[in-house]
Structures are given as C-alpha cells and as structure tokens.
C-alpha cells in the first residue's frame, strides 16, 4: 500500500487542514489503539506529549477520543520535549507513545509522531499497517472496555531527573554562564531547569510560549537570537533548541554557531579515544558535510550515511549496533542515553566536554573545515512532480557531471514540506553557486 499520511517523521501538515484535522486525528488514534491492542500488552496504555502550538489542544483531544474508543488508557503529559515521550513510553511501560509536534516548523503546522513500547519511533512497516487500517472499519471497544484518560503531573520531572544523570561524571556547571533558547517550544520548562539544577547561571530566551510564537525568530532554525543573547550577556556558550527539543545548535562565546556535523565530530573523536564509539562508526545522513567524512577517515573512523531523517539514522544505528549518529540539522542520537534525537542531552554532552577540558567553546566547536555547501529550496504546488520533468532531469545530469572529482550533488523532495531541496558541495565556490543556480532555475520553471 502506498503511504499517503505518513512522511519521514510521522504525519505532518497545516493545522485544521487535511491531514492535520481533528477528524483524521480521531481516526488515527482509533487505528493506533486497535493496532497496539492486538497483543494485549501492558494494560493498553499510551502516553501523549505535545509542544506549545495552539492546535495541539485540538489534536490531543481528538487522539484521546480515538484511542479511548478502542480501549486504550491515555496518560497526558502536556508540553514535553519529543525525547521525553520516547523516554517515558519505556519508563511507564506504555504500549505506545505519541508526540504532537511539527518540530521546527512554524506554529500553523502540526504533526503526530508515534513511538513503540521500546521508546523508538515506529518503523515504516508499522506506520503503513496503521494507515491501512484507516481504510476499513475499526472495531471499537465494548462500553465496559472503553479506555480512560488522565493528566500526568510528574512526567516532566521524571525526564528532568533522567537528563541530569546523563551529564558526564559527577561534575557541576558551577561557574558557567549559559544561554538557553527554547524556541518558545516544548522544552521551555525542562531545559532551563536542568541547567540550573546542575549549577549553571542560566539566561533564558524563547520561554514564553503563547501558542503562536513557537520557532518564530528563535530556536535552532534562527540561532542568531541565541548568538545575540550570548554576546550581550558575555556568556560562555548558548544552547539553541527547536520547537520539540530533539535538535540543537551550539553557539560559542564569540557568537559563532556550530551545527550537528561539528558536534558529531567532537563526540565521535572523544568517544573513540575512550573506546566508547561502537565499531569506530558514526552514522549521519547524506546531507552531512564532506568535511566531516574527511575528519573521520583521517582518524581511522568510519562514516555510515543514511537517507535524510533521524528515524533512518536510528534504524541504521540499531541494525549495525552503533551508538552515535545524527544530522547536520542538529539531531544528535546517542543510544547509550536516548532513543531519538535529544537537543538537551546533546547540549549536556558538549558542556561535559567543556568542563572536562577547561577549553573555551570556540575551541571545541570547530573540529574540521567545512567543504563549501549550498542548499536551496524550491516550493511546489499540490499534484506537481517537478523532478519528473525530462528537462529537469537533463539539467541535473549535466550539472552533476560538472562536479565530478570536486564535489557532490544531492537533490531530494522534503519528507515534511512540499519542497525540492537542491544541495551541492564543491571546493570551487563559484562553480558551486552556478551548479545550484542552474538546477533551481530549471525546477522553478516547472512549478
């Protein structure tokens, strides 16, 4: 069956428009409830978290109605980071976890992500089965078997306590001034609390959600807000999270932003020195910079590339038995600690290295020189398939040939938005700009 609802990271779209309507959420909840009730595990329990979007209330209520109609007992966590849902699904012995969030997208989007009882995101196969159930009649529970729903007040506290245990050693952040930008999103309470309890002087921004300001000019997609705060406060560093706190950007004391590639390079090298890096392998996506690959190979380490999406990184990690992976966008996955990307815990690992070495953040965030990279997005309309046009395919082949021996080209459709992403890397920046510009122009002519 062709998947129509699920993309690379659950179901996502414009709130109150298909597929992010209350009607679809109710049906999806019922289908998920029936799917996870089939084996009768754990008293049919589900935990639901959300970020701070206004539409989260609507989706939460609809999912709850669908789940309880098939006999699932719903535990509502309220606003918590996505990784907290993965953690609490396992901790609370739930059959399934659900996060309501569109991650780094603006407030007008929303999404639904599913986690299995092991705390990992569901496989493509499981999502396809759930989606297939929507086409048929979903068996409802008998009146005496309808599920219950209740709020869980200590879920956030449980996650805060766990996050602190991942801080390396028994150290403290005393003496460090840290800016944390929570993107007016799901970590607006958890992240400042963890940093403060570990002893840091904390400057908080992006911690006043109003339902509409999530990711608006702040967070990991707008790290300039964090950089500005770092410079104004004379802070040692900044930690910039996205709306659901599963990704992070680090800002050093000079206001320079380090992406996920630089963080993965730092962690991989350190873990390899300690003998902790499984099979001396780091997992990253095809978007990660060639400079990262050169850095790793120069140290006898290996880079395993996957399709774009942290779920594919995690799947590869689990299959290969590897324990460190992530994305350039700031998803850092450390399966020694978490089941999905966790921006806060990744930030704590960086802080641990800062405390251990006594070095400045600016000395730690630059492990390698990036190969010049250029990414441009082209938005297309409903029903359009611009990459299928023969003229576009011909231009792509022509431009790719120009990069042979000096770079690489990656063109793909986004799994979460109607965008074609055109990315190229090349040591010759003039050639790089020309190649990307030619491809983008041809695609734009077809949309």
* Residue pair 354/237 in contact by the 8 Å Cβ criterion: yes
| Side-chain-facing half-sphere of 72: CA atoms under 13 Å | 33
Q: Where are the beta strands (DSSP E) in 3-135?
A: 6-7, 10-14, 45-50, 73-79, 96-100, 109-115
Tokens representing residue 148 in the block = 């219950």
403: Cβ–Cβ under 8 A, 6 or more apart, which residues? 409, 424, 426, 431, 435
Per-residue pLDDT, averaged over 163-183, amounts to 92
pTM: 0.89
Whole-number pLDDT of residue 27: 97
Least trusted range by pLDDT, from 44-53, 201-210, 255-264, 417-426: 417-426
Q: Which residues pair with 182 in a beta bridge?
A: none
Mean pLDDT of the chain, nearest integer: 94
Whole-number pLDDT of residue 308: 87
CA nearest neighbour of 412 among 439, 447, 381, 445: 439
Whole-number pLDDT of residue 434: 96
pLDDT surpasses 70 at 40: no
Say whether 306 sits in a helix, a strand or coil. Answer: strand
Q: Which residues pair with 205 in a beta bridge?
A: 181
Whole-number pLDDT of residue 253: 98
Q: Where are the beta strands (DSSP E) in 253-395?
A: 257-258, 281-285, 302-306, 324-326, 332-334, 373-379
Counting beta carbons within 10 angstroms of the beta carbon of residue 20, is it exposed (0 to 12), middle (13 to 18) or buried (19 or more)?
buried
Residue of 69, 101, 103, 367 marked active site:
103
Tell me the pLDDT tens digit for each residue of 127-168.
999 999 998 999 999 999 999 999 999 999 999 999 999 998
Tell me the pLDDT tens digit for each residue of 293-341.
999 999 999 999 999 888 899 999 999 999 999 999 999 999 999 999 9
pLDDT surpasses 70 at 202: yes
CA nearest neighbour of 269 among 299, 289, 240: 299
Number of CB atoms found within 10 A of residue 390's CB: 7
How is residue 38 annotated by DSSP?
T
pLDDT surpasses 60 at 242: yes
First to last CA, the chain: 28
Whole-number pLDDT of residue 246: 97
The CATH number of 260-344+353-364, from 3.40.50.800, 3.40.50.620, 3.40.120.10, 3.40.50.10130, is: 3.40.120.10
Can you list the alpha helix ranges (DSSP code H) found in 70-147?
A: 82-91, 124-133
Tokens representing residue 439 in the block = 């491809």
H/E stretch holding 160 reads helix 155-165
* Rounded-to-integer distance, Cα 279 and Cα 248, Å: 25
359: Cβ–Cβ under 8 A, 6 or more apart, which residues? none
pLDDT surpasses 80 at 50: yes
H/E stretch holding 232 reads helix 224-233
- Second-level CATH architecture of 6-157: 3-Layer(aba) Sandwich (3.40)
Q: How far is the CA of 135 from the CAs of 31, 129, 130, 138, in angstroms?
A: 10, 11, 10, 9
Tell me the pLDDT tens digit for each residue of 364-403.
999 999 999 999 999 998 888 999 999 999 999 999 999 9
Return the higher-pLDDT residue of 72 and 170.
72
Per-residue pLDDT, averaged over 356-367, amounts to 94
Report whether the peptide linkage leading into residue 19 is cis, meaning its omega lies within 30 degrees of zero. yes
User: In which band, very low, low, confident or very high, does the pLDDT at 7 lie, cut at 50, 70 and 90?
Assistant: confident
| CATH topology for the 373-444 domain | TATA-Binding Protein (3.30.310)
Return the higher-pLDDT residue of 418 and 299.
299
User: In which band, very low, low, confident or very high, does the pLDDT at 8 lie, cut at 50, 70 and 90?
Assistant: confident
pLDDT surpasses 60 at 41: no
CATH superfamily name and code, 176-254: Alpha-D-Glucose-1,6-Bisphosphate, subunit A, domain 3 (3.40.120.10)
**Shared fold status for 260-344+353-364 and 373-444:** no
Whole-number pLDDT of residue 38: 65
Map out the domains of the chain as residue ranges: 6-157, 176-254, 260-344+353-364, 373-444
Whole-number pLDDT of residue 32: 95
Whole-number pLDDT of residue 42: 44
Q: Is 362 a catalytic residue?
A: no
């Amino acid at each position: 069956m062709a998947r129509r609802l699920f993309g690379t990271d659950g179901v996502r779209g414009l709130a109150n428009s298909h597929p992010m309507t209350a009607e679809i959420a109710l049906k999806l909840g019922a289908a998920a409830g029936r799917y996870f009730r089939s084996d009768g595990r754990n008293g049919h329990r589900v935990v639901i978290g959300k970020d701070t979007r206004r539409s989260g209330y609507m989706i939460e209520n609809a999912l709850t109605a669908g789940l309880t109609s098939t006999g699932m007992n719903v535990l509502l966590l309220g606003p918590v980071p996505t990784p907290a849902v993965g953690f609490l699904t396992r901790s609370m012995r739930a059959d399934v976890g659900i996060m309501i969030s569109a991650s780094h997208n603006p407030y007008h989007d929303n999404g639904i992500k599913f986690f299995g009882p092991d705390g990992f995101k569901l496989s493509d196969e499981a999502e396809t089965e759930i989606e297939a159930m929507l086409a048929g009649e979903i068996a409802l529970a008998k009146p005496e078997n309808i599920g219950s729903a209740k709020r869980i007040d200590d879920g956030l506290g449980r996650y805060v306590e766990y996050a602190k245990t991942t801080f390396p050693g028994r150290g403290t952040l005393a003496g460090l001034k840290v800016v944390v930008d929570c993107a007016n999103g799901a970590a607006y309470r958890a992240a400042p609390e963890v940093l403060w309890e570990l002893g840091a002087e904390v400057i908080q921004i992006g911690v006043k959600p109003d339902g509409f300001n999530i990711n608006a000019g702040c967070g990991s997609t707008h790290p300039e807000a964090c950089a500005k705060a770092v410079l104004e406060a004379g802070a040692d560093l900044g930690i910039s999270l996205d709306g659901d706190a599963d990704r992070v950007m680090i800002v050093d004391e000079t206001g320079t932003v380090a992406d996920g590639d630089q963080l993965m390079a730092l962690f991989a090298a350190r873990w390899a020195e300690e003998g902790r890096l499984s099979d001396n392998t780091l997992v990253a996506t095809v978007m990660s910079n060639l400079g990262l690959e050169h850095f790793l190979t120069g140290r006898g380490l290996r880079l395993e590339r996957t399709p774009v999406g942290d779920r594919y990184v995690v799947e590869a990690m689990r299959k290969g038995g590897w324990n460190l992976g992530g994305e350039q966008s700031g998803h850092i996955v450390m399966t020694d600690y978490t089941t999905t990307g966790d921006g806060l815990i990744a930030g704590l690992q960086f802080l641990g290295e800062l405390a251990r070495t006594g070095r400045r953040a600016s000395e730690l965030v630059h492990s390698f020189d990036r190969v010049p990279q250029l990414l441009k997005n082209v938005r297309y309309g409903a029903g359009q398939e611009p990459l299928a046009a023969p003229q576009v395919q011909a231009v792509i082949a022509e431009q790719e040939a120009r990069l042979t021996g000096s770079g690489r080209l990656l063109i793909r459709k986004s799994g979460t938005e109607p965008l074609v992403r055109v990315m190229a890397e090349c040591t010759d920046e003039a050639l790089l700009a020309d190649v990307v510009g030619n491809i983008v122009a041809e695609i734009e002519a077809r949309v």
